[in-house]
Amino acid sequence: MSHLRKRNAPIEPLSASNHNAAPAPLVGEDTTKRATIGLDLMTYEQLEDFGNELDAVRQRVLDDLGQTDADYIRRVIKVQRVFDVLGRVGIFFPFFLPVFIAGIVCLAVAKILENMEIGHNVMHGQYDWMNDPVVDGKKYEWDNVAPAQDWKHGHNYIHHTYTNIHGMDRDIGYNMFRIDEAQPWYPSHRVNLPLAFLLMLFFEWGVMYHGIELDEYLGGRMSKSEFKARKKRAWQKVRRQVVKDYVAFPVLAIPLIPFTAWWVPLAVLGGNVAANIIRNIWTFIIIFCGHFPAEVETFTEDEAQNETRGQWYLRQLLGSANITGSRPFHVMTGNLSYQVEHHLFPDIPARRYPEVAEDVHLLVEKYGLTYNTGRLSKQIGSVVRQLAVLGRKPSDPYKVGNSPESKALRREKREAEKAAREAMANA
């Protein structure tokens, strides 16, 4: 491409001496104001040490990555493909119930492994260092109706950067539920629990819809062209997924009709629906248990402005919850049962989380912090309780979203923002 290289870019010469200043993710207008996250637990100096120590843990793992990690993810992929093929074959035998059911289970396991231990983790870039296009975070597309690109934006960027900050992390309650005290209550939250149950069954569709970010568009924070592009990508992905699971494979069963029964293609379709629903239920449970149990903390934008890396780490630690379990259980959750470690180090291969959990425990002890963990049943119980309790109308009018008091407050904020925007435009 040397023939192209004519232009010289205009770049201000800078000294390279401050290579070590990390770019701040949450820069506020007043850069002299320091973030208050964690000040009730540690001093600024301690927070900085805490950050450095976690950086060191991360680097140690990165330096150690190699053949065993590559072999691991390839083994998971192999197992996933085997389950996938077994499942696809199994659901072609609806006239032989044990095989049919085993097929559904295999297909569900394949989809869970693909979405969790492979898809989610690969799309975080955990295996980018391998340079293998099959596990390249940029190229990967998962077996889910949500297109990878928009999911990555909402998840990797928004959720993982602004974790549990109200008004910034769109994953707090997914704009549907009241899951935290600090969220305003609306009458729709009366159906918190039944709605959650429905979302559980159709979770992949919820994830897809969430990724379109209709609320951002309606709120004027997203351009029309961007919104249209999102809709288009979602539609294309939905079409491909639906054609595969609900058209192509059932059609493939039509030649079986003369030898079996007319309803066999329908049963194949049903098998696919069932496998998808099992996967939906599982992923919903794991993800809700990662952030919504009662003890998990949330933050305000104000607290987090100009936070340091140490404070960012602390926010991840306080904002996530682990689930204890056996080795196969962890694999089936994509090691998201190590949600705390995942949030601290989203880009190191998930199989390393059990190992770094030991370091995290030591640091938690050293700085006297809390580490939220528990059995799956305990965490599910906690989430259900949260949904039930927070679904009831609070007595404080400021916690009720459509009370006159809250409306006045919002109007004020809107006007202030508008004024700021106009000031910017005029400047």
Partner 1 sequence: MGIVRKALASRPIAALTSPHTIDHYLDQIHPMLAVKHVRARVVEVVHETGVASTVVLRPNGAWRGFKPGQHVEFGVEVDGKRRVRVFSVSSSARRKDGTFSVSVKAHPDGYVSQYLHHELSPRTLIHLSQADGDFVLPDVVPDDLLLLSGGSGITPVMSMLRTLSESGHTGRVTFLHYARSREDEMFSEELDALAASYEFVRIVRVYTREPEADAELAGRFDLVHLKHLEVDPTSTLSYVCGPAGLIASVRDTYDELGAAEQLHTEYFKVPTVDLDAEDATGTLTFDDSGIDAANSGATILEQAEAAGLTPEFGCRMGVCNTCALKKNHGAVRHVITGEVSASTDETVKICVHVPVGDVNVAL
Nearest CB to partner 1, comparing residues 84 and 303: 84
385 counts as binding partner 1 under rule CB under 8 A = no
Please name every residue paired with 185 in a beta bridge, in sequence order, or none if there are none: 400
Contacting partner 1 (CB under 8 A), which of 129, 202, 217, 227?
129
**Long-range contact pairs involving 296-301 (C-beta distance under 8 Å, separation at least 24):** 296/164, 296/320, 296/321, 296/372, 297/164, 298/164, 298/165, 298/166, 298/172, 298/180, 298/182, 299/37, 299/164, 299/165, 299/166, 300/165, 300/166, 300/167, 300/182, 301/26, 301/165, 301/166, 301/167, 301/168
347 counts as binding partner 1 under rule CB under 8 A = yes
355 counts as binding partner 1 under rule CB under 8 A = no
Least Å distance, CB 9 to partner 1, is 3
Contacting partner 1 (CB under 8 A), which of 49, 136, 216, 355?
136
Query: 145 near 238, Cβ under 8 Å?
Result: yes
Least Å distance, CB 188 to partner 1, is 30
Residues 202-231 that bind partner 1 (CB under 8 A): none
58: nearest Cα among 327, 312, 368, 299: 312
233: nearest Cα among 199, 204, 209, 203: 209
* x/- map, 39-68, partner 1, by CB under 8 A: ----------------x--xx--xx-xxxx
414 counts as binding partner 1 under rule CB under 8 A = no
101 counts as binding partner 1 under rule CB under 8 A = no
Structure tokens at 366: 């050293």
90 φ, ψ (degrees, to nearest 5): -55, -45
Nearest CB to partner 1, comparing residues 10 and 219: 10
Q: What DSSP assignment string belongs to 238-301?
A: HHHHHIIIIIIHHHHTGGGGGGS-TTHHHHHHHHHHHHHHHHHHHHHHHHHHHH-STT---B-H
Residues 1-20 that bind partner 1 (CB under 8 A): 1-2, 4-17, 19-20
Least Å distance, CB 301 to partner 1, is 16
Contacting partner 1 (CB under 8 A), which of 36, 46, 156, 300?
156
82 counts as binding partner 1 under rule CB under 8 A = yes
Least Å distance, CB 141 to partner 1, is 4
273 counts as binding partner 1 under rule CB under 8 A = no
378 counts as binding partner 1 under rule CB under 8 A = no
* x/- map, 242-271, partner 1, by CB under 8 A: -xx---xx--x-------------------
